[in-house]
Amino acid sequence: MRLSTVCWLLPILLSLNTYGQQRDGETFQKEYQVHIARTQEPIQIDGELNEQVWANTQPLSSFWRKFPTDIGKATRKTEARVTYDDKFLYVAFTVYDSGKVFIKSLKRDVGHDGNDCVGLILDPVNKRANGFFFVVNAYNAQSEDQINGNGDMISFSWDNKWYSATKRYADRWTAEMAIPFKTLRYTADKLTWGINFLRVDTKTNEYSLWTHVPVNFRSYDLGYTGALVWPEPPPKPGSNAVLIPYATGGVQEDKDNGLPWKATGNAGFDGKMALSSSLNLDMTVNPDFSQIEVDKQVTNLTRFNIFLPEKRTFFLENSSLFSSYGIPSVRPFYSRRIGLDKNGNKIPILLGVRLTGNASKSTRIGLLNMQTGSQGDYSAENYTAATINQAVLKRSTLNLYFMNRQGFLSDSAKKADPLSAYGRNLGGEFNYTNLKGTWNGWAGYHQSFKPGITKDDRFMDLGGSYNGRYFSAMLDMNTVGTNFYTDMGYTQRIENFDAARDTIVRLGYKQVYNEFDYRILPKKTKVSSYQFQLTNSFVFNPDNTLNERNQSLGLNIMYWNTAQLLVTLNNYEVNLLFPTAFTDKTPLPKDNYQYSQATLGYQSDFRKPLSYYATVGGGGFYNGSYQSFIGGVTWRSQPHLNIDLHAEYDKLAFPDIYGATELFLIAPKVEINFSTAVFWTTFIQYNTQRNNFNINSRFQYRFKPMSDFFLVYTDNYYTAPLLKNRNRALVFKLNYWFSL
């Protein structure tokens, strides 16, 4: 039987075993309630819990297992308590443990996965649409992020000021959090907030929560929060105005362009102002991002560009308001397009403003305007984005947006490249989620506007998914017009490189994607779960002929000791429309290619001081063959030292005239955590595909909350000729958070 046939038939058979009942998340706020009381005594955030209010506050201690199984109560006891005063929401945890605690790092934003930690999930508006996640590990490394109701993955890229402390004992560790009300966004008349408490016990590989969250949902899912009940309206946040000035300086040399060493310097500021308890204004003048870590390089064996995440702080708060439109391969808004020219070179951003938050209990708004300067022959541009999210039904939203990139070009430049004058996008989406969170549906219409273009300029998307305890499925159908442009966004696949003519050809497409997952949760074995996954992806040309087909069958085995084993089989069919080169020899001709590949991967128990992972793959690749090895080793001496080594080798071999190539990516990383305030990270990347050997070494000293000194050294060489220098720089940055 062909793999394609299995991919269609097996989900039907598996669906017969689906779990029929899921609890309604709305009822949780009747079953799980915590009535908060005001404290009359000051609380010192030292992790010791010696204030009388903690002794008088009834603890929430009956935590449920969440992962890898949601059956039964947590193995080890956790207690959570809450109180408040005029300025802060206070949370205290007592975490019963034995022996040495386990953490990944002392670095900020290390997250919750793989750490002995506790977390607070908050939904102040209580609409199950947006909230906050605050995490602290046993050594007091803080992480925080914003959550959206779609259950999307979090990156811990949002930063704000809050306070915490921990203390470790022989049989337990304790944690205190103080969350400033002015950090949160809420309406003061809301007497019920959504709340949940998380504990990650890495030694037992167990996640547990105060409420009973089903295993098929994320720990921070807002649909399964309990109720934080206020005896009176929560305190008004008060004024929240922040000024964050910065200054930079350094020296740099650019041998690629024949430029000698020169001194550099810059200054600017970011600002934040609360216009109301739920609406925030951010501004930036001459922002600088020299402290940002370099992108993690990857080997790209596709014919298209890859998506890299945003890391610049200004674009991160409430970013989902703008960036969640579309699907992963088509995003009308992609903030990394701002401040870069068409070749990826940096363009100065002069200033920017952003207004985000809740205009009412059911309405979120976002408005962004950024002005870039000119550089060389690249003209100044203005970027504007406006969005509104309206909550409807119980957990659904209706979203609308408008985006505009306006170039300031001379008449001759407009005549030479008319499409550069402006690019605009207008669209709307409806996202449906039932109360249980098991059923989701979405529909979107997106229109682009370019000078002289009146047809094939839209993107439409329709899909739905089911997320059950044992079985989940997803279907998405979309169509992208040949003339659909996203000057402020990202569209994969629409630009095709014709190697014979050395040119880019735009071609729209239609895509149908479906995915089926089936989970087995065995009892009393070394395996915690078996997950089978079947995916089918079909891409069609505008005339409905087949462009590409990819079908995949995978098995992921997760062990109680955190180890994982992954097996994947893939079958491809590609009707190549344009000659494509993967080597420096003759490009592959237009033709129909069918081939298959297999992958086997294993990750060891990451809790041990020395852990490793390895993946081997191979099979066909168009009319040739493909071999791959990806591996890595991590050595951890907690809590101060982490050493990672990642390596990837790929070999492509084609019939003689089409050549062969070997690609190497070697990326060691050394992270030294002197404390929760002082870090030194060195990242080295040797990438033959990009012909680049990069060294990035960054020292960070957080001398006050959200106030930092950075010293960054970067050096870039060619891999061929080896160690021929391209450019290097040594820069410092100092920023200070002023609360006004």
Q: Alpha-carbon dihedral of residues 369, 373, 378, 382, nearest 10 degrees?
A: 20
Judge whether 604 and 615 are in contact, CB under 8 Å: no
Task: Give me the pLDDT at residue 328, please.
Answer: 92
Max mean pLDDT among 103-107, 235-239, 613-617 falls in: 613-617
Which tokens is 378 given? 């690249």
Judge whether 597 and 619 are in contact, CB under 8 Å: yes
Residue 149 scores a pLDDT above 70 = no
Give the mean pLDDT of 156-184.
91
Task: Give me the pLDDT at residue 289, please.
Answer: 75
Give the mean pLDDT of 385-392.
95
Give the mean pLDDT of 685-700.
95
Give the mean pLDDT of 357-373.
90
Task: Give me the pLDDT at residue 16, please.
Answer: 39
Reading across the β-sheet that carries 172-180, which strands appear in turn?
78-84, 88-96, 172-180, 163-168
Q: How confident is the model at residue 292 (pLDDT cuts 50, 70, 90)?
A: confident
34 closest CA partner among 89, 116, 87: 89
Amino acid at 646: H
Higher pLDDT, 244 or 740: 244
Give the mean pLDDT of 471-480.
97
Residue 6 scores a pLDDT above 50 = no
Q: Is the peptide bond before 655 cis (omega within 30 degrees of 0)?
A: no
Higher pLDDT, 662 or 130: 662
Task: Give me the pLDDT at residue 246, please.
Answer: 93
Task: Give me the pLDDT at residue 630, please.
Answer: 97
Task: Give me the pLDDT at residue 24, please.
Answer: 65
Task: Give me the pLDDT at residue 550, please.
Answer: 97
For the chain, the first-to-last Cα distance in angstroms comes to 69
Q: How confident is the model at residue 719 (pLDDT cuts 50, 70, 90)?
A: very high
What pLDDT, in 10s, does the model give residues 561-570? Answer: 999 999 999 9
Give the mean pLDDT of 595-608.
97
Percentage of the residues of the chain whose pLDDT score is greater than 90 = 74
Burial 522-551 (b: 16+ CB within 10 A, else e): eeeeeebbebbbbbbbbbbeeeeeebbbeb
DSSP 10: H
Task: Give me the pLDDT at residue 151, please.
Answer: 63
What pLDDT, in 10s, does the model give residues 301-358? Answer: 998 888 777 877 778 777 888 999 999 999 999 998 998 877 777 888 999 999 988 8
Residue 18 scores a pLDDT above 70 = no
Domains parsed from the chain with CATH numbers: 1-22+510-689 (2.40.160), 32-229 (2.60.40.1190)
Q: Which of 149-153, 322-326, 408-412, 463-467 has the lowest mean pLDDT?
A: 149-153
Residue 154 scores a pLDDT above 90 = no
What pLDDT, in 10s, does the model give residues 618-649? Answer: 999 999 999 999 999 999 998 999 999 999 99
Judge whether 101 and 114 are in contact, CB under 8 Å: no
Higher pLDDT, 318 or 578: 578
Strand partners, 255: none
Q: How confident is the model at residue 177 (pLDDT cuts 50, 70, 90)?
A: very high
Task: Give me the pLDDT at residue 158, please.
Answer: 79
Q: How confident is the model at residue 138 (pLDDT cuts 50, 70, 90)?
A: very high
Q: Which of 290-304, 456-470, 681-695 has the lowest mean pLDDT?
A: 290-304
Rounded mean pLDDT of the chain?
91
Task: Give me the pLDDT at residue 13, please.
Answer: 41
Task: Give me the pLDDT at residue 124, please.
Answer: 92
Task: Give me the pLDDT at residue 644, please.
Answer: 96
